[in-house]
C-alpha cells in the first residue's frame, strides 16, 4: 500500500499543497501545452517567459508592490542575500557619498535571533578588509531572562541607529527562535519605523524568508530590499525572491572604480534586473511550483485569506501551549507579543518528555516537530500550505499529551 503523506510541521523546506504537487507532476511531462517538461524547456521559450511574467504579477498584486520597486528572482537563498544586500547597499552608499571615508561608513543590524546573527557574521566577513563599521542597532538577547537567548523583540527605546547607514537590516521572522515582529504598527514589538527619518529613501533591508506571503508586509514601500527564499511558504528551495526599490539597483562596477568591493555578477541586482531575472539559467522548476502556489493563493482570496487563516492557526496552537504551561507540561520560549505566527517554539521539561512528545506525534503521522539543533525543544511550523484541520490535529494531540502527563 502507498505510504500516506505525513502532516509536515517542518521549518523548511516545508509542505506544499497536494493539488499543486499533482499539477507540478503533470508539468514535469508537459509544460503549458508545449510538449516539453518544465525541467527540460528553455528559460527563454515563449511559454516560460509568459509564465515568469505571471509569477511576478501574482506577487506584485497580492503584496501590493508599488511601481517604485522591482521584483527579481535569483538563486543562492537567504544566505546569498546576506552577502548581496551588503555588497549592493555599500556600493550604493559609495556612489551617493564618494567623499565619505570607509571608517565613516556604517551598516546597522537589528539582532532578534539566529538568522539576523548569521547575517551579521556574513557582513563581518565581507567587510574584513575595509573599515566599514557594523553597528548593532538593537539586540534582543540583552533583554532576555538569561541574557543568552532570543525571546523577544527589543523594546523601542533600546534602538540606536547610525546617522546615515548604508543599510538597516532586520529579520522579520526568526525561524529558529520563533521571534517575530508584530505586523500591527504601534505595537511594542513592531518594527520601530517611527524612529527612522521620514524625509529620506530609507536603506531598510528585511529578511522575510520564513514569513513571505503569509500576511501583508507593513510599510513595504519604505523598504529598500525585502527578500525571501521560496522554501517556506511558496515553493521548493532554489528560488530567492527579491523586492528591491529601483534606486538600490546600482552600477556596482562604477562603485568599484571608487574603491568598493567587486561584486560577483549573480549577486548584483543590476545584473539580475538588466537580464530580467534570467541573465543566466534560473531555477526553472522552483519558479514553476512557486507560480502554481501563487495562483492557488489568489484563488483562495490572496493575503487577506492567509492573514486570517494564519492568525487562527497560531492562536489555536498557542492556546494549547498556554494550557500546557499552566499545568507544567510545556514551557514557551518566546514572550507574549513577540511570538511568531510561523514557528512556534516551546520546551517539554522533564526526563525524556520531549522524546515522548515527538514519538507520540510521529505515531499519529505528524513530522518535523523537533526544534532546531542549536536550540532544541519543539518547533511547530505553520506555513501557508498547512490546513487548519491539520493544525487541529496537533492541537488535539497536545491536549492529549497534557492530560497524559498530568494524570
Note the residues at the interface with ligand PLP (CB under 6 A): 12, 77-79, 115, 171, 175, 207, 209-210, 229
Which runs of E-coded beta strand occur in 175-297? 179-180, 204-207, 225-229, 240-245
Task: Give catalytic status of residue 232 as yes or no.
Answer: yes
Q: Kindly state the smallest distance separating residue 356's Cβ from ligand PLP, in Å.
A: 27
Q: Kindly state the smallest distance separating residue 175's Cβ from ligand PLP, in Å.
A: 3
Among 232, 270, 313, 316, the active-site one is: 232
How far apart (Å, rounded) are the C-alpha atoms in residues 285 and 288? 5
Q: Kindly state the smallest distance separating residue 314's Cβ from ligand PLP, in Å.
A: 17
Among 117, 141, 207, 313, the active-site one is: 207
Q: Which three cell numbers stand for residue 350?
A: 522533564
> How many C-alpha atoms does 108 have within 13 Å on its Cβ side?
20
How far apart (Å, rounded) are the C-alpha atoms in residues 43 and 284? 7
Strand pairing category for 366-367 and 7-8: parallel
* Closer CB to ligand PLP, 78 or 368, in the complex: 78
Among 108, 115, 177, 270, the active-site one is: 115
* Closer CB to ligand PLP, 49 or 149, in the complex: 149
Angle at 115 between CA 109 and CA 116, to 5 degrees: 5
What residue number has its CB nearest to ligand PLP? 77
> How many C-alpha atoms does 85 have within 13 Å on its Cβ side?
38
Nearest-Å Rg of the Cα atoms of the chain is 22
**Exposed/middle/buried for residue 286 (C-beta within 10 Å: 0-12, 13-18, 19+):** buried
Q: Kindly state the smallest distance separating residue 136's Cβ from ligand PLP, in Å.
A: 18
Q: Kindly state the smallest distance separating residue 170's Cβ from ligand PLP, in Å.
A: 11
* Closest to 229 measured CA to CA, from 296, 283, 178: 283
How far apart (Å, rounded) are the C-alpha atoms in residues 256 and 146? 44
* Closer CB to ligand PLP, 209 or 314, in the complex: 209
* Closer CB to ligand PLP, 189 or 260, in the complex: 189
Task: Give catalytic status of residue 46 as yes or no.
Answer: no
Q: Kindly state the smallest distance separating residue 46's Cβ from ligand PLP, in Å.
A: 30
* Closer CB to ligand PLP, 73 or 330, in the complex: 73
* Closer CB to ligand PLP, 41 or 225, in the complex: 225
Strand pairing category for 179-180 and 69-74: unpaired
Which run of H or of E encompasses 168? Answer: strand 167-171
| Cβ atoms < 10 Å from Cβ of 94 | 24
Catalytic residues: 115, 207, 232
Amino acid at each position: 500500500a502507498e505510504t500516506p503523506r505525513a502532516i509536515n510541521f517542518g521549518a523548511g523546506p516545508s509542505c506544499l499543497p497536494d493539488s499543486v504537487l499533482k499539477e507540478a507532476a503533470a508539468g514535469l511531462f508537459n509544460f503549458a501545452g508545449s510538449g516539453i517538461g518544465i525541467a527540460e524547456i528553455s528559460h527563454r521559450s515563449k511559454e516560460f517567459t509568459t509564465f515568469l511574467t505571471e509569477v511576478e504579477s501574482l506577487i506584485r498584486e497580492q503584496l501590493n508592490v508599488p511601481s517604485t520597486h522591482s521584483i527579481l528572482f535569483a538563486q543562492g537563498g537567504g544566505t546569498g542575500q546576506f552577502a548581496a544586500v551588503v555588497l549592493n547597499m555599500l556600493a550604493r552608499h559609495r556612489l551617493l557619498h564618494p567623499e565619505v571615508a570607509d571608517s565613516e561608513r556604517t551598516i546597522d543590524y537589528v539582532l532578534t535571533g539566529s538568522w539576523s546573527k548569521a547575517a551579521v557574521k556574513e557582513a563581518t566577513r565581507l567587510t574584513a578588509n575595509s573599515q566599514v563599521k557594523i553597528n548593532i542597532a538593537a539586540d534582543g538577547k540583552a533583554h532576555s531572562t538569561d541574557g543568552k537567548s532570543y525571546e523577544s523583540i527589543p523594546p523601542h527605546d533600546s534602538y540606536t541607529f547610525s546617522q546615515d547607514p548604508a543599510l538597516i537590516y532586520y529579520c522579520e521572522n526568526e525561524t529558529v527562535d520563533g521571534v517575530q515582529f508584530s505586523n500591527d504598527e504601534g505595537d511594542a514589538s513592531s518594527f520601530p519605523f517611527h524612529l527612522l527619518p521620514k524625509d529620506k529613501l530609507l536603506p531598510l533591508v528585511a529578511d522575510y524568508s520564513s514569513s513571505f506571503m503569509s500576511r501583508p508586509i507593513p510599510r513595504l514601500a519604505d523598504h529598500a530590499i525585502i527578500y525571501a527564499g521560496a522554501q517556506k511558504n511558496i515553493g521548493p528551495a532554489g528560488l530567492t525572491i527579491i523586492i528591491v526599490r529601483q534606486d538600490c539597483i546600482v552600477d556596482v562596477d562604477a562603485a568599484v572604480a571608487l574603491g568598493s568591493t567587486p561584486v560577483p555578477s549573480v549577486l548584483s541586482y543590476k545584473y539580475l534586473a538588466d537580464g530580467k531575472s534570467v541573465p543566466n539559467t534560473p531555477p526553472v522548476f522552483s519558479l514553476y511550483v512557486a507560480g502554481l502556489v501563487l495562483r492557488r493563493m489568489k484563488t483562495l482570496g490572496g493575503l487577506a485569506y492567509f492573514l486570517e487563516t494564519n492568525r487562527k492557526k497560531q492562536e489555536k496552537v498557542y492556546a494549547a501551549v498556554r494550557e500546557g504551561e499552566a499545568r507544567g507540561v510545556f514551557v514557551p520560549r518566546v514572550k507574549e507579543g513577540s511570538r511568531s505566527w510561523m514557528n512556534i517554539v516551546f520546551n517539554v521539561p522533564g526526563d525524556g518528555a520531549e522524546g515522548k512528545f515527538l514519538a507520540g506525534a510521529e505515531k499519529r503521522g505528524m513530522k518535523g516537530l523537533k526544534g532546531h539543533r542549536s536550540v532544541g525543544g519543539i518547533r511547530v511550523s505553520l506555513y501557508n500550505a498547512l490546513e487548519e484541520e491539520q493544525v487541529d490535529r496537533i492541537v488535539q494531540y497536545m491536549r492529549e499529551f497534557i492530560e497524559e502527563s498530568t494524570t
